[in-house]
Amino acid sequence: MIVQNLKIPADQSAWWFVFSGNQLLQVESTPGVIQACRQELDFIHPYIADAVQVGHYQDSPCYLIDFNAEEPQYPSAELAGLRDLLIKVDIELFHIAARAWQVALFQRTHRFCGQCGSATNKVDWELAVQCHVCQHRCYPRISPCIIVAIRNGKQILLAQGKHHKNDMYSTLAGFVESGESLEQAVHREVMEEVGVKIKNLRYFSSQPWPFPHSLMMGYIADYDSGDITPDGHEIIKADWFDFDNLPHIPSPYSIAGQLIAAAKEQSDR
Ligand SMILES: [Zn+2]
């Protein structure tokens, strides 16, 4: 549960997710995030009134402190991107950091009402802001995104997007459009990006992905028909790869990596 407008005890041990720009203050020691009592952290005091509780980790509360554009000064800690944390920490802690980042982004981008332009106020009992002039209420933005592993016997269709680095190939993914079901989005994205028809779509699992506020919903599908034709905009290259001879693929921390592993396991049966 996410709680704002808090009173934080001075001597209670807690985890602190301190953001500045789009970076998180990280420490060298495991698990990478600052653990301390409020009274030990003088540098956060000007920001403490806006702290938000974003979860619990190992029986201690987790708090978001947002420095916005200011730079925090804390010994033996440095600012780094969230992706850096992904490879350092327990996935549970990463998910809390991801939530903290999305809450920070929500607060930064909803200070004024999108309908009448008046200043908004935080709601006490849920994560929302309210305009008291026109009564418009806003919640954090979550962008649903589908991601799909396409199997064809002992092979999988993987593609290289224009943003992929290090010659990495991954599963296809795309945003769900307004008025579309998840299944319609999967069929449409696959047809648009590589010109292939798929069948036997089955749900796999989901993963919040804080870059910046996606919710990835994973599917596995079987190839039906059509020749691979990359769209040339989102997708630069795409091909069938043997499960025994895969290119550079995403890590198992990401749902893309998990989908590829699950599709391989299904092909072994
Ligand atoms: Zn308003």
For 65-86, how does the pLDDT look when each residue is reduced to its tens digit (9 = 90+)? 999 999 998 888 899 988 887 7
* Whether pLDDT at 175 is above 90: yes
Q: Residue 120 gets which letter from DSSP? A: P
**Tens-place pLDDT, residues 126-163:** 889 999 999 999 999 999 999 999 999 999 999 999 88
Per-residue confidence (pLDDT) for residue 1, from 0 to 100: 64
Ligand 1 centroid distance, CA of 4 (Å): 21
Any idea which residue has 């929302």 for tokens?
A: 128
Distance 111 CA to ligand 1 centre (A): 11
pTM (2 decimals)?
0.84
Q: Does domain 143-268 match CATH 1.10.3720.10? A: no
50 CA to middle of ligand 1, Å?
22
Q: How far is the CA of 179 from the centre of ligand 1 (A)?
A: 26
Give the pairing of strands 13-20 and 60-66.
parallel
Q: Would you say 177 and 186 are in contact if contact means Cβ atoms under 8 Å apart?
A: no
Sequence ranges of the chain with CATH classification 3.90.79.20: 13-109
> Prior bond to 61 cis, omega within 30?
no
Question: Would you state the CATH architecture of domain 13-109?
Answer: Alpha-Beta Complex (3.90)
Computed over every residue of the chain, the mean pLDDT equals: 92
Structure tokens at 188: 């449409």
As annotated, the residues of the chain forming the CATH 3.90.79.10 domain(s) are 143-268
Answer whether residue 45 shows pLDDT above 70.
yes
Question: Cα of 133 to ligand 1 centre, how many Å?
Answer: 5
The secondary structure of 172-221 as a DSSP string is EEEEPPTT--HHHHHHHHHHHHH--EEEEEEEEEEEEETTTTEEEEEEEE
Q: Residue range 115-124: average pLDDT?
A: 94
Q: How far is the CA of 43 from the centre of ligand 1 (A)?
A: 34
- Assign residue 68 a region: left if phi > 0, alpha if psi is -120 to 50, beta otherwise? left
What is the model's pLDDT at position 5? 65
Q: Which of 87, 97, 104 is nearest to 33 (CA)?
A: 97
Which pLDDT does position 186 carry in this prediction? 98
Centroid of ligand 1 to alpha carbon of 137 (angstroms):
8
